C-alpha cells in the first residue's frame, strides 16, 4: 500500500491559496474562450454568484455570471452567494488540488459540500471539469475529472489552453479578472 506524503500545514495552505486563485482566474478566463462552458453558464441567471472556499475562513474565490454567459471574479464579496462549494478542511482541498483525489471522489468521501441548489452545483462542476480538461495535461486531467471528454482534440485543447493561460497571465499583470 502506497502512503501519501506528509506536507506541512503551512505549505498546504500556501499551495491551496495559490491553486484557489489559479482556478478562479482559470474558470473566469475559460468562460471567455470555451463555448461549452458558456453554454453551461447560460443555465444560470445573470448575476448568479458562487463561491468556492475552504471552511471556516480558508482560501476562497467568488464569481458572478455576466450577461454574456461569462464569469467575473468578485473582490471583497461579503454576502451569501447563491451557491457555495465548501471544502470541510484545508487538507481535503489539498488532496483535490494536488490531484490525489478527483472532485467527484471528494464529494463521495464527504470532504466537500454544496450549499445551494444541487443542480447548480452539478452545472458548476461540469464547468470546472471542462476547464481542467482544457488546461491540464491529459494524464493529470484524467486524475482530476470523472470522465475526460473524448471529443476534445489535441488541436482544440492546445488552442484553447494557450488562450486561457495567456488571459490568466494577463490578469495577474493587470491585477484584475
Q: What's residue 143's pLDDT?
A: 77
Asked if 102 contacts 133 with a C-beta cutoff of 8 angstroms, the reply is: no
Q: Which three cell numbers stand for residue 137?
A: 495535461
Question: Which pTM does this prediction carry?
Answer: 0.86
pLDDT, one tens digit per residue, over 12-61 is 999 999 999 999 999 999 999 999 999 999 999 999 999 999 998 899 99
Q: What's residue 1's pLDDT?
A: 52
Q: What's residue 76's pLDDT?
A: 83
Q: Is residue 153 part of a domain?
A: no
Mean pLDDT for each 10-residue chunk of the chain (177 residues)? 66 94 95 94 95 93 94 90 95 91 85 93 91 89 82 90 93 77
The H or E element containing residue 20 is helix 9-33
Instruction: Work out the angle at residue 18's Cα, subtended by the Cα atoms of residues 22 and 43, and round it to the nearest 5 degrees.
Output: 35
Q: How far apart are CA 11 and CA 172, in angstroms?
A: 22
Q: How far apart are CA 102 and CA 64, in angstroms?
A: 24
Among 173, 97, 169, smallest CA distance to 136 is for 97
Q: Is residue 160 part of a domain?
A: no
Among 37, 35, 34, 66, smallest CA distance to 49 is for 66
Q: Which three cell numbers stand for residue 85?
A: 462549494
- Domain containing 34: what range? 9-128
Q: What's residue 5's pLDDT?
A: 61
Q: Is residue 143 part of a domain?
A: no
Number of domains in the chain: 1
Q: Which three cell numbers stand for residue 66?
A: 455576466
- CATH at residue 107: 3.30.1050.10
- Cell 453558464 locates to 41
- Cell 481535503 locates to 92
Q: How far apart are CA 58 and CA 21, in angstroms?
A: 12
Instruction: Give the count of beta carbons closer than 10 Å to the beta carbon of residue 98.
Output: 16
Q: Is residue 135 part of a domain?
A: no
Q: Is residue 57 part of a domain?
A: yes
- Cell 495567456 locates to 166
Q: What's residue 77's pLDDT?
A: 83
Q: Which three cell numbers stand for residue 115?
A: 450549499
Q: Is residue 16 part of a domain?
A: yes
Q: Is residue 136 part of a domain?
A: no
Q: Is residue 78 part of a domain?
A: yes
Amino acid at each position: 500500500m502506497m502512503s501519501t506524503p506528509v506536507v506541512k500545514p503551512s505549505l498546504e495552505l500556501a499551495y491551496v491559496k495559490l491553486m484557489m486563485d489559479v482556478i478562479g482566474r482559470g474558470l473566469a478566463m475559460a468562460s471567455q474562450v470555451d463555448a461549452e462552458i458558456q453554454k453551461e453558464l447560460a443555465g444560470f441567471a445573470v448575476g448568479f454568484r458562487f463561491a468556492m472556499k475552504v471552511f471556516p475562513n480558508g482560501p476562497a474565490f467568488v464569481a458572478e455570471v455576466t450577461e454574456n454567459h461569462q464569469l467575473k471574479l468578485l473582490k471583497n464579496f461579503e454576502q451569501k452567494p447563491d451557491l457555495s462549494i465548501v471544502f470541510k478542511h484545508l487538507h481535503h482541498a489539498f488532496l483535490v488540488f494536488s490531484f490525489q483525489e478527483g472532485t467527484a471522489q471528494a464529494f463521495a468521501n464527504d470532504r466537500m459540500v454544496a450549499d445551494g441548489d444541487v443542480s447548480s452545483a452539478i452545472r458548476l462542476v461540469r464547468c470546472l471539469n471542462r476547464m481542467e480538461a482544457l488546461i491540464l495535461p491529459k494524464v493529470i486531467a484524467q486524475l482530476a475529472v470523472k470522465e475526460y471528454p473524448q471529443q476534445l482534440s489535441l488541436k482544440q485543447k492546445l488552442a484553447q489552453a494557450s488562450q486561457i493561460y495567456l488571459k490568466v497571465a494577463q490578469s495577474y499583470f493587470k491585477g484584475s479578472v
